[in-house]
């Protein structure tokens, strides 16, 4: 989801640059390209926020499925975002004076989007705390995740107020655009920093093993995601495991199965 969000933001930014290059040459630009680029970037930000929220709830870190409340809340948030964004576009077309330069955030839907972002932050912080309580071994990740991502949630709403009340009209849209790009870049950098697969990264959250992708059989979030540091293999809480040993008895192979081990052992085939 992070990669898709980055790609979407890059494509949207390419549309915006194309529009402004044409605008610099003919003074008109391509309004359709501009609107399409802004919409793609908004969806990319929405996707990244969705990723942050489901990760805060521990998806693929402490659990394999979201609760019904989590799904309901995320669906409501998504529809509120879409409706607010479309209302902001309509507000700009219907009520903004073309002779003056306005930022889109200077409208009732713009304030609603800012409020929506703060509401998402409240859910984000609560979700991180609950996930940290459910899995103390991941406490360092969820604490760092909540602290470092809080500026990403708060910066746009705060700057909307600053821009609308303290900046002149002719610089408002430009400065808002700069801040939004910086905030977007900050969010990507923080997530990639926390999730980098490095030995010295104590916050790395993902320790799922390849045998734990099946969500329909006995998943235990308290043990399944923990790193196995013991020398002996234990049951990972996810699968009963078959240990196969082949014995050649007159050309017939007998296979024995054991279900309480943490690995599958394959028979050794001698060169003879």
Rounded distance, CA 105 to CA 157, Å?
A: 9
Q: Which residue has the higher pLDDT, 44 or 251?
A: 44
Mean pLDDT of 221-233: 48
Find the helix or strand (DSSP H, E) in which 16 lies: helix 2-26
Asked whether the whole model's pTM tops 0.85, one would answer no
Q: What letter does residue 231 receive in the DSSP assignment?
A: S
The C-alpha angle with vertex 43 and arms to 182 and 188, in degrees rounded to 5, equals 35
CA atoms within 13 A on the CB side of 134: 19
Which tens digits make up the pLDDT trace of 141-182?
Answer: 889 999 999 999 999 999 888 888 888 888 888 888 899 899
Q: Is 178 exposed, middle or buried (0-12, 13-18, 19+ CB in 10 A)?
A: exposed
> Is residue 265 over pLDDT 70?
no
pLDDT for 37: 93
- 102: its two tokens: 């306005």
Mean pLDDT of 109-113: 82
- 163: its two tokens: 């821009």
Mean pLDDT of 260-271: 45
Contact 109, 92 (CB under 8 A): no
Which tens digits make up the pLDDT trace of 15-74?
Answer: 999 999 999 999 888 989 998 998 899 899 989 999 999 888 887 777 777 788 888 888
Rounded distance, CA 12 to CA 80, Å?
A: 21
Domain spans of the chain? 1-195
Q: What is the DSSP string of 72-98?
A: HHHHHHHHHHHHHHHHHHHHHHHH--T
> Is residue 272 over pLDDT 50?
no
pLDDT for 74: 83
The C-alpha angle with vertex 88 and arms to 103 and 158, in degrees rounded to 5, equals 50
CB atoms within 10 A of CB 37: 21
Which tens digits make up the pLDDT trace of 87-96?
Answer: 877 877 777 7
Mean pLDDT of 129-140: 85
pLDDT for 211: 54
**Mean pLDDT estimate for the chain:** 76
Q: How confident is the model at residue 84 (pLDDT cuts 50, 70, 90)?
A: confident
What is the end-to-end Cα distance of the chain in Å, rounded?
Answer: 51
Find the helix or strand (DSSP H, E) in which 248 lies: strand 246-249
Q: What letter does residue 212 receive in the DSSP assignment?
A: G
| Of the listed ranges 88-92, 102-106, 195-199, 252-256, the one predicted with least confidence | 252-256
């Amino acid at each position: 989801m992070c990669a898709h969000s980055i790609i979407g933001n890059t494509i949207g930014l390419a549309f915006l640059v194309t529009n402004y290059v044409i605008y610099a040459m003919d003074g008109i630009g391509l309004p359709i390209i501009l609107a399409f680029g802004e919409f793609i970037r908004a969806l990319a930000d929405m996707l990244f926020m969705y990723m942050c929220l489901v990760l805060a709830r521990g998806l693929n870190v402490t659990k394999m499925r979201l609760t019904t409340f989590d799904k309901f809340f995320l669906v409501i948030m998504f529809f509120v975002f879409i409706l607010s964004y479309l209302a902001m576009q309509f507000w700009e077309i219907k009520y903004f004076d073309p002779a003056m330069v306005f930022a889109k955030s200077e409208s009732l839907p713009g304030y609603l989007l800012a409020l929506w972002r703060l509401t998402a932050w409240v859910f984000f912080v609560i979700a991180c705390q609950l996930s940290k309580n459910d899995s103390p071994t991941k406490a360092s990740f969820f604490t760092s995740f909540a602290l470092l991502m809080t500026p990403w949630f708060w910066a746009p709403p705060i700057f909307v107020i600053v821009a609308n009340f303290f900046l002149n009209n002719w610089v408002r849209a430009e400065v808002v655009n700069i801040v939004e790009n910086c905030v977007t870049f900050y969010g990507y950098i923080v997530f990639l920093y926390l999730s980098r697969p490095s030995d010295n990264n104590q916050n790395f959250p993902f320790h799922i093993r390849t045998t734990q992708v099946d969500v329909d059989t006995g998943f235990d979030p308290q043990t399944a995601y923990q790193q196995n540091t013991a020398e002996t293999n234990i049951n990972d809480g996810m699968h009963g495991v078959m240990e196969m040993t082949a014995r050649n008895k007159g050309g017939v192979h007998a296979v024995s199965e054991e279900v309480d081990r943490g690995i599958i052992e394959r028979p050794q085939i001698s060169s003879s």
